[in-house]
Every structure is written in structure tokens, then in C-alpha cells.
Structure 1
Amino acid sequence: MKQYIVRPVTTGFFSGTLNEIKLEAFLNEHAAQGWKFVKSIHETKKILGIFAREAHFVIFERDV
């Protein structure tokens, strides 16, 4: 049986940009807990018609 978790990684509108070093640390942190990266879903939203905020929903799985 598999267990799944979904973790958001957001960028833009005061949260900064997506940084490969931070993303690598994020993935390694979850890998150290036994999670395996499965997929990422990307979403972009406009805020106040000016700013863009991006969210990456990162999906991990592991055997139970």
C-alpha cells in the first residue's frame, strides 16, 4: 500500500522566487524521511491584476 502527501511550494507576491538550492533542500528533506517524488502540479494566479503568484504542488509517495 502507498501513502501520499502533497506539499505546496509558492513563489511570487512577497514569497520570493523559486530557488534551485531551496528546492533541492526541500526534496532531500522529504527523501530523508522515506518519501519519493512522484509529480509536481503548477498553478499561476493573478493577484490584484498586477502580481502573479505561482504554486507548485509537489506530490510524494512511500510504501506503508
Structure 2
Amino acid sequence: MLRLDLAQEPRLLEIEFNTRDRLGEAQRMQWLGEVAGLQESLRHIAVKKQQAERLQAQAGQGENGASSLS
């Protein structure tokens, strides 16, 4: 399994935006197989975004914990 790099979060948001744009086109063109695939991609992107949020929260807790030790 690949580890999520928080520095790449802007790229993840860009991928999500592009996927949503492609999904809109696929829906307009009634490309049902493409719609299904893009919807699945968006589900995976949502999971990655949740992972990023958890990692950011953990990093923030770590920073707060470290500063309280000083």
C-alpha cells in the first residue's frame, strides 16, 4: 500500500476536480461505463482525502504535544 504524502494534497484536489469535470462530460454523452468508472474513482479519491485529513490532524496533535513539552 502506498503512503499518502501530505505535500501532494493539492494534486489530489486537482485530480478530483478533473475527474468531476470528466464525469459531467460522460453523463452528458451517456457513456455509462465511463460514468461508473469515474464514480468509482471519486469514491477512492474521497477515501484518500479522508486519510489526508486524519494525517493532518495527527501531525497537528504531534506538534501541539511537542510544544507543550518545552
Q: TM-score, normalised by structure 1?
A: 0.28
Structure ranking higher on relative contact order (CA contacts 8 Å, 6+ apart): 1
Q: Which has the larger share of helix?
A: 2
| Larger Rg computed on CA atoms | 2
Q: TM-score, normalised by structure 2?
A: 0.27
Q: Which has the larger share of strand?
A: 1
